[in-house]
A and B are shown apart, each in its own frame.
Chain A
Amino acid sequence: MKLLQKTGKNYLLFTSILLVVTGCLIYFIMTSIIEEELTDNLYVNKVRITQQIMEGKTVPQLPPIIEIQELDFQQESNFIIKDTNIYDPNEQDFELFKEVTSVEDINGKTYVITVREILLEPEEYLYNIGLSLAIVMILLLFGLFLINKRISRNIWKPFYNNLEILKSYSLEKDNHIRLQSSDINEFTELNFAIEKLTDKIYTDYHTLKEFSENASHEMQTPLAIIQTKLEEAVQAPSLTKQQAGQIKSALAAVQRLSKLNHTLLFLTKLENRQFTDSESINFEDVIDKVLEQFEDFIQLKNLNIKKQLNPTIIQANPVLMDILLSNLISNAIKHNNPKGILRIELGSNSFTISNTSKPLTQPAEKMFERFVKADQSSKSLGLGLAIVKKICDSNSWKINYTNEGEWHVIKIYF
């Protein structure tokens, strides 16, 4: 729910309650004022009639408004005010009247003077008050709607624009974020805070990135020294078998570290989108080229290659394309059973590589995570498929992995 709708809703709820309370107050105040006035009036009328009788004038009967009755017996003076329902022949209905009945001694005679005034029925008050308030309510709604529209168009516009700017902000592409200014203090403050924050994140991010890149690069030289020194040590003729074994392990570790370093650097570059230039690539050619590179390994494992390739041209970075296919094909060879099958299918919008292998030892969804290996003891880094996933992501291609029995299938949609 939008902020304006939410506040608007609360305002409306409050206003409705207020209007109902106002209606009740108006009703009670009005009825009490009117009744008071009415009673006063009736009393004054009664006094006037009394005076008329006193002066010997005849007062006309006007039932049910004025009724005068001369009693032929004595009665004590009294005075009653009450509300009463009386049948009004004119209206042909019972009507509510306020009635003042007074027993008076005038010129030695006893009179019962009754004056009445018709009372407005409560429903009528309520109806009228309700109607007025409803009109006010409608006007209020309409006004609120117009004001909200205006507010969201003028005042909130920079906010929404800035929201769009923020959504599309990327640490890779943009450096300083430029937000639209507004004359609302809160928004200006927010903009200031966001700009400060993104600037800080930007510098931190780049410092960190630069640091890890430099660290990785700097690591290569010491690694080179270790490797060359170890290779020199191997040359010594007096080396024992045990010493040779130790050097061998050290050399293997150095190479592993260096390979890891290179691969992580490559992943960073991929994340930094440093491979942007793309060209038209004949997918089929790349597959054949990569298969040729791995010919030795395919032969040694006696793999059966089944190709079903339709000529397909795609737009991609040639280096990434090479790495993508190398990783996928080398995986399919490495994990294949001896004399297994490697199937490659290329359609106009999908590429599928399947291989026979042992069943999966870990969840399929972890397949594309970094440092996940089929066999923990293997020398591989467990980054191959993470790189494949990243390359697919950078091209907005969908990739999925399925495992059915001995078949492991990776499918890419582009």
Chain B
Amino acid sequence: MKLLIVEDEKQLLQSISQYLQKEGFVCEQASDYFTAEEKLTLYEYDIVVLDITLPDGNGLDLLNMIRKEYQQTGIMIVSARNSLDDKLKGLDLGADDYITKPFHLAELNSRINAIIRRRIFQGQSNIIFNEIEIDPTAKEVTVNNNLLDLTKKEYMLLLYFITNKNRVLTKEAIAEHLWGDNIDMVDNFDFVYTHIKNMRKKIEVAGGTDYLLNIYGMGYKYTNR
């Protein structure tokens, strides 16, 4: 998978690239409009992560250009604005998703993976982690070919963990993934804990290994090491 990350803030650009590279993506970087435009005319990318507020141009113009030239490319908008107008405009112009700064890298990764599944594999590719297999189209999970009866939240959790495997995921990031803007409801993380507990139990009952590690009471890590 080849990604182009367009972000004018170098520190952020570097963090995003590092994270996504570890996930096995080939990441190219562009820190301004001009570089991004140049790269986009030369190469075709599977996914473009696009900050729409650039110092030397409007990211929405780049979005237009990508949509015109490469219909296959998935576009993930990153914006400092939480403005609905921008969001709608971006999605109207053909962006696949929209994320507001500041975001969790794991969340960005999850969403990029979702775009890839939708666009490139068109839901044809199952996600496999050892004995666990996820069918994203049917939203079904099998462990050793036993179908799990997961709730919507448990399914989201498992997919999130596997997409961001070998990473410490904070409880905040997990809660935000599950509840989005209603995150401020989560005064304590009992909510997250309950869902995680149920998910673990269901996998173990189906004969699966519990790959989830609790890290310093701060969060969780999904790993087979």
A→B interface (CB under 8 Å):
217-218, 220-221, 223-229, 231-232, 234-235, 239, 241, 244-245, 247-248, 251-252, 254-255, 258-259, 262, 265-266, 269, 293-294, 296-297, 300, 319, 326, 330, 333-334, 378-381
Contacts and interface: CB of A to CB of B under 8 A. Distances in A.
A335 to B, nearest CB: 10
B105 interface: yes
A225 B80 contact: no
Contact of B12 (A221, A241, A244, A379): A221
Which of A225, A254, A262, A333 has its CB near the most chain B CB atoms (within 10 A)? Answer: A225
Interface string B205-222: 000000000011111000
Which of A225, A228, A255, A297 has its CB near the most chain B CB atoms (within 10 A)? Answer: A228
* In the complex, the 4 A-B pairs of residues with the closest C-beta atoms, listed nearest first: A224-B102, A244-B216, A220-B80, A224-B101
Given A232-B18, A247-B218, A248-B170, A224 B103 contact: yes
Given A223-B102, A330-B182, A379-B187, A252 B15 contact: no
Nearest to B10: A225
Contacts of A379: 184, 187
Contact of A296 (B105, B168, B179): B179
A95 B39 CA distance: 126
A258 B15 CA distance: 19
A241 B218 CA distance: 9
Interface string B125-157: 000000000000000000000000000010000
Interface in B143-182: 153, 167-168, 170, 172-173, 179, 181-182
Given A224-B102, A231-B168, A259-B183, 15 more contacts: A224-B9, A225-B102, A228-B19, A232-B18, A234-B218, A235-B168, A245-B216, A265-B82, A293-B182, A294-B185, A319-B84, A330-B182, A330-B184, A334-B187, A378-B187
A385 B109 CA distance: 34
Contacts of B182: 293-294, 326, 330
B164 to A, nearest CB: 11
A297 B184 CA distance: 12
A391 to B, nearest CB: 14
Contacts of A255: 102, 172
A297 B105 contact: no
A251 B81 contact: no
A259 B179 contact: no
A65 B215 CA distance: 137
A226 B102 CA distance: 9
Contacts of A228: 12, 15-16, 19, 102, 105
A333 B82 contact: no
Q: How large is the interface on B (under 10, 10 to 19, 20 to 34, 35 or more residues)?
A: 35 or more
A300 B80 CA distance: 34
Nearest to B102: A224
Interface string B76-97: 0000111110000000000000
B38 interface: no
A234 to B, nearest CB: 5
B104 A225 contact: no
A235 B191 contact: no
A269 B81 CA distance: 12
A107 to B, nearest CB: 129
B194 interface: yes
B66 to A, nearest CB: 22
A229 B170 contact: no
Contacts of A248: 170, 216, 218
Interface in B1-20: 9, 11-12, 15-16, 18-19
B56 interface: no
Interface in B87-122: 100-106
Given A234-B168, A245-B216, A381-B184, A297 B191 contact: yes
Contacts of B19: 228, 232
Nearest to B51: A221
Contacts of B106: 231
A319 B83 CA distance: 11
A254 B185 contact: no
Contacts of B172: 251-252, 255
A296 B191 contact: yes
A216 B100 CA distance: 13
A224 B49 CA distance: 15
A136 to B, nearest CB: 73
Given A217-B81, A234-B168, A378-B187, A229 B216 contact: no
A248 B100 CA distance: 21
Contacts of B184: 259, 330, 379-381
A198 B179 CA distance: 46
Nearest to B216: A244
B102 A245 contact: no
Which of A218, A224, A247, A262 has its CB near the most chain B CB atoms (within 10 A)? Answer: A224
Contact of B11 (A225, A266, A378): A225
B170 A225 contact: no
A220 B102 contact: yes
Interface string B15-31: 11011000000000000
A254 B215 contact: no
A235 B216 contact: no
Given A234-B219, A239-B216, A241-B216, A330 B185 contact: yes
A258 B80 CA distance: 11
A154 B207 CA distance: 95
Given A224-B12, A245-B218, A251 B185 contact: no
Contact of B170 (A224, A234, A239, A381): A234
A240 to B, nearest CB: 8
Nearest to A231: B105
